[in-house]
Amino acid sequence: MVGKLGVIVALMFGFGYALVPVYKSICEALGINVLSLSEREAGGRPVGERGPVNTQVDTSRTVTVEFDANARGPWSFRPAKSSVQVHPGEVTTVMYEFRNEQNRVMSAQAIPSYAPKQASPHFNKLECFCFNEYTLQPGEKKEWPVVFVIDRKLPKDVTTITLSYTFFEVSGKGVKS
């Protein structure tokens, strides 16, 4: 009985050990687990050398993204850049600066809008300060990013997109500072 259990344990260990190369082969064949593949490709490259080219970027097109900031309340709110030129499929980060100009703690949140309207479903925010409510101390200044990518399926006639935020005070406590 002990011999049979020992054989079963050895077979289970061998099967588990063999799953690692089988899993890697399947992932490479199907194109999943891309993060591990890109890390492995970058492994032998000198620091500062460019990695694999992102084939999802449409370099044949350039879209101008303009940034607008409106504050409904006593604070300053503005983008670090007024506009950027991007290619559809390219990940871009733009910082926004906030300052509470009141002598009291204030909680606020930003609401985005897009122009033209048909660009809205093609403007994908990966990270945005508009996802949360924030609390700013008196005179406190913060910078928060907007990380976005424009879908390659953006209609060809759209060459400029305006991303506008309205930052307004909300009642209650903020969840992030």
Domain identity same for 75 and 35? no
Residue 52 pLDDT greater than 80, yes or no:
no
Residues 23 and 84 in one domain: no
Helix pair 2-30, 34-42: axis angle to 10 deg: 80
Percentage above 90 pLDDT, the chain: 17
Q: Tell me: do 75 and 138 sit in the same domain.
A: yes
Cβ–Cβ under 8 Å, residues 91 and 126: yes
Question: Is residue 163 a part of any domain in this protein?
Answer: yes
Would strands 91-100 and 75-79 be described as parallel, antiparallel, or unpaired? antiparallel
Q: Alpha helix locations (H) across the chain? A: 2-30, 34-42
pLDDT of residue 11: 93
Which amino acid appears at position 85 of this protein? Answer: Q
Q: Is residue 90 part of a domain?
A: yes
Q: How many domains does the chain have?
A: 2
Count Cα neighbours of 171 within 13 Å in the Cβ-side half-sphere.
Answer: 0
Answer yes or no: do 28 and 75 share one domain. no
How far is it, in rounded angstroms, from Cα 29 to Cα 27? 5
Tell me, yes or no, whether 116 and 68 share the same domain. Answer: yes
Q: Are residues 85 and 120 in the same domain?
A: yes
User: Rounded to an integer, what is the distance from CA 117 to the centroid of its chain?
Assistant: 22
Closest alpha carbon to 75 in 48, 105, 50, 34:
105
Q: What is the CATH number of the domain that holds 137?
A: 2.60.370.10
Q: In angstroms, rounded to a whole number, what is the distance separating the alpha carbons of residues 51 and 41?
A: 8
For residue 33, being part of any structural domain is answered with yes
Query: Is 177 part of any domain?
Result: no
Mean pLDDT of all residues in 19-28:
77
Give the mean pLDDT of the chain: 80
Lowest pLDDT segment from 23-27, 59-63, 137-141: 23-27
- 71-123 pLDDT, tens digit per residue, is 877 778 889 999 999 999 888 899 989 888 888 888 888 888 888 888 888 88
> Average pLDDT, stretch 121-126?
88
Structural domain including 137 reads 63-169
Residue 95 lies in a domain: yes
Task: Please report the pLDDT score of residue 54 as a whole number.
Answer: 58
**23 and 88 share one domain:** no
In this structure, the answer to whether residues 146 and 71 fall within a common structural domain is yes
Instruction: Write the DSSP symbol of residue 102.
Output: S
